[in-house]
Structure 1
């Protein structure tokens, strides 16, 4: 069994836990979507929280949720507002890369708090990791996931991490009803980072690309046929990104045959002799489990286990 040495990475800064009754802000930094405000407010109240909906959530500019200025202002305002204790994104789609070179990362760092989303929101996870250095959360979107009636582990996973119910040394649970597959066995220690594969590739060559050194890479995607997944992984290999990794956690890749996908991942990663675990229910799937981006973790692919090696929130 391959055991990669302990990481020498500095841990990303944990963020304050979502307190009981804490206000959750909703922003739309990517694409537009209609929001049933009453339903959203009632859902959050039923789970013990109030909701603050920022202006861009109700805006629409073609395929964007409002202009770049509106979406950027909402991002900054949600972090700067001391009453907002966590931020969740309305939906993915496209739009976050347009904001990256105008984000005040120092403002975000000074006001670090749980920030949650996936898909196009991956660009923000990568940028915050590189330029602000605090833990963010690859997890549910308000519309598609929390209000979309997804399976109970979606909500349980979301709140348990944000509220600080999981600490360093705890194993992140995965529902037994969704079997995991060992693509390459082994144990690796590193920083969990990644998300949507298309977005990881789209930010390559920019100041916001993934800092892959010592990383356990999370990969998920949707509406990409197998050959495009191959092309994206090949791009990362040729860029030297894959050679820096400690391990890989394959989330959901909707619309691709799982056996074909695992075969491609084995071909891609076997030469690197790093552990690869497939089938983690995170991304465009049901349930959609929350994962802490930038956090130090241990991946034991042989035992199908992911363990926190740092606190990801403070308090709780």
Structure 2
């Protein structure tokens, strides 16, 4: 088991280094000269050149990379090109907002996906199973911003159960925090619930028709115990989908945060992209990849516990 953990840690670190280094050069290649976005198109060439020298963009790209990378490995992502504030502090203020929404959405997807998937898998072709197939087509076709706007109109404007926009820190009010993240979390979770439920339904149905399940029924085991055995064998695929869902929700949070006006990393990414603030974008990329590596590592540990054969891969 220790060898399995070490292999997964090493692969995660390699992934982090490769994506981080690649993101640096791709960002500079895609954005090119950021001074027009920072100063405006009316800026004079002398002003742009002065800003380039101030930001260190007049140095060779490899020198810029090593300067950034040597600080980034220590958690120092430099300062923003827009306001010259420390990037680590800006990201640190916004990460809890995004994680609040994404983790809540992932939890909803896991719980509701489990219930719906098992219920559909136990009665294939039933009403719930047909509704699941219909929902999978409809929800995947609906854009996230449209779903968010519908939730705002129904539950915020008409019913007034939740605030339409804004974020309340749990330090200020736990109830206010829960109310402020409920609609964004639901908007993110709807398609994820269907995805997890459908994957679990397919796995449950496939495992339930295997020979060992028939043997368990012949031995007189209760339906509850048989369901536990089937669920454990069907869970790896659903867990993988759930981990991928978490990663996907991090990207989908950009749209939801813009609609609900949440001060998370999504809105920070959008504003930094508009002006070409490369240090902010690189810092956000590193933080996101760290989350991806952690989630994949935890997934591997869970899969290794559920299915010991995974440890030999």
Q: TM-score, normalised by structure 2?
A: 0.26
Greater per-residue helix proportion = 2
Q: TM-score, normalised by structure 1?
A: 0.26
Bigger CA radius of gyration: 2
